Structure 1
């Protein structure tokens, strides 16, 4: 996976998810078709008086402005306000899943975005894993580069492998280095080693956690409260989300008083739950054990 979604995760997720807004009816596949069965938010189950939290879908787009593109990074996140914890699950783009309405039935999960955008991607995730995303945010290459530099102007630490330098044309030496937007994009996109896409996921989550810490350091500084409105405005301009500026601003202010103390991560497919396969219509894929991975996601998010 690449890091495009990290731009959203580094701010949209940290800001939006920290809001802890009540969730209504996360486990319904299509909001338009199930309006009559929607649950009243006031009737939702709660723990110690706190409503279940929303789940956010963050999508990194493999594009530099082209009209047709695929989702190169797919992440689900949830903030548990009761425990002041964040949960982050990465779904690997080559996961072989059933795509609703698709002629061949199954393909890589990133094909669902290519065929039907975020709407079909959300439906695909629900039908395969029984997890419904409440809000979505997407971003492409250029948006990522600009937003990482906005959020972390002093750069991000990364452990550079020798093979990364030549493969990604990085202007860096091996070992721990401080990288910026374009370099970080190359760093997380790298996959030509023994870890392949699994290494991408690990680096993606690694950079996310650094960005989270950097954001908190900035926002809890003397001028943090004055910086937040500008950061929200710029972030909103660089991302495509179904949340409005006002809601992001409100959630951002809540974040200042609810610093995340613990972050749990998960990778789908989980270890030992997939096989490397290849099909004429899709190429190399990760053929997952659907039930095992569905259980893993449901248990992870506390459903």
Structure 2
């Protein structure tokens, strides 16, 4: 009996040592998927962003993948955002999230352990829980979609955006930079939200927040992992986050615009991050 207990203890110790080693020394990769679920029949991956967290040097990198990125999926040419639609009809949010994650792994040639998928309602809930997000808007933002009932109207200035206004800010793509301007705003917004989380949240509040927003999320990150990551993340200087966009170029095929990945530049960008 003593020998069995001893073997169990040794096994547990080895497991803990291995877990700590890989947790401390390896990057933690999390794919963020923002889904446009305004139409219940179509669910596009409107935002695709990889967060790479290196616990060893407390460094975070954001890599945004344009939703029009050209991929070949199951023998078909399509935009990466369409993979979500394709798979949602076959297995819901979990299946769609896993398939997009696999495609991003192939695109970047790296493993991605975790994903978080949410929709506009999830973002609204998080922002309202934080009491709003303070954002500086540099240029006039105006857009009106009569059919969709969407009006976006911001003048330059500093705003404390509530959940609904945050969605309007994140969806806007009416400037000269189009989708890339929107990606820059998404990255800026996420950094601001993370900063607010650092200031306003404590370890004790994490379970309540997790439970509140979970109904708008699909993720493979458990509560205990969220708490672990939050403890690490509290030590990071967020103004030093590295922000990138998938290298590539605009092309037109059969009258449809795509973002064609530049795999040589992607490989160069990812060399130090595939650890």
Give the 5 Å matches for 1:159-238. Answer: 159=137, 161-164=139-142, 169-170=151-152, 172-219=154-201, 224-238=202-216
The C-alpha deviation readout for 1:102-122, integer Å capped at 9, x for no partner, is: 3x2x22111222223122212
Distance in 2 (CA, whole Å) between partners of 1:169 and 1:214 is 27
Match of 1:140 among 109, 119, 122: 119
Partner of 1:113 in structure 2? 84
Distance in 1 (CA, whole Å) between partners of 2:272 and 2:164 is 32
Given that residues 203 and 227 in structure 2 are in contact (C-alpha distance below 8 angstroms), is that contact kept between their aligned partners in structure 1? no
Moved more, 163-172 or 81-90: 163-172
**SS of alignment partner, residue 165 of structure 2:** helix
The C-alpha deviation readout for 1:215-271, integer Å capped at 9, x for no partner, is: 11113xxxx344333223223333110122233234334545x344531111012xx
Distance in 1 (CA, whole Å) between partners of 2:19 and 2:204 is 38
**SS of alignment partner, residue 52 of structure 2:** strand
Change (3 A) 1:127 1:172: closer
Change (3 A) 1:231 1:290: same
Match of 1:240 among 200, 218, 226: 218
| 2:52 matches 1:78 | yes
Distance in 2 (CA, whole Å) between partners of 1:166 and 1:67 is 23
**What TM-score does the superposition give when structure 1 sets the normalisation length?**
0.72
**SS of alignment partner, residue 133 of structure 1:** coil
Deviation at 1:79, TM superposition (A): 1.1
Structure 1, unaligned stretches of length 5 or more? Answer: 1-40
Distance in 2 (CA, whole Å) between partners of 1:132 and 1:65 is 31
Give the 5 Å matches for 1:1-303. Answer: 42=18, 50-64=24-38, 66-99=40-73, 101-102=74-75, 104=76, 106-116=77-87, 117-150=96-129, 152-159=130-137, 161-164=139-142, 169-170=151-152, 172-219=154-201, 224-256=202-234, 258-260=235-237, 262-269=240-247, 273-279=248-254, 283-296=256-269, 298-299=270-271, 301-303=273-275
Change (3 A) 1:135 1:65: farther
Higher-helix-fraction structure: 2
Residue correspondences, number: 246
Deviation at 1:288, TM superposition (A): 2.5
**What TM-score does the superposition give when structure 2 sets the normalisation length?**
0.78
Distance in 2 (CA, whole Å) between partners of 1:210 and 1:134 is 24
Rg larger in structure? 2
Distance in 2 (CA, whole Å) between partners of 1:300 and 1:65 is 40
Change (3 A) 1:126 1:157: closer
Distance in 1 (CA, whole Å) between partners of 2:101 and 2:65 is 12
Q: What RMSD over aligned residues (CA atoms) do the two structures have, in Å? A: 2.8
Given that residues 147 and 238 in structure 1 are in contact (C-alpha distance below 8 angstroms), is that contact kept between their aligned partners in structure 2? no
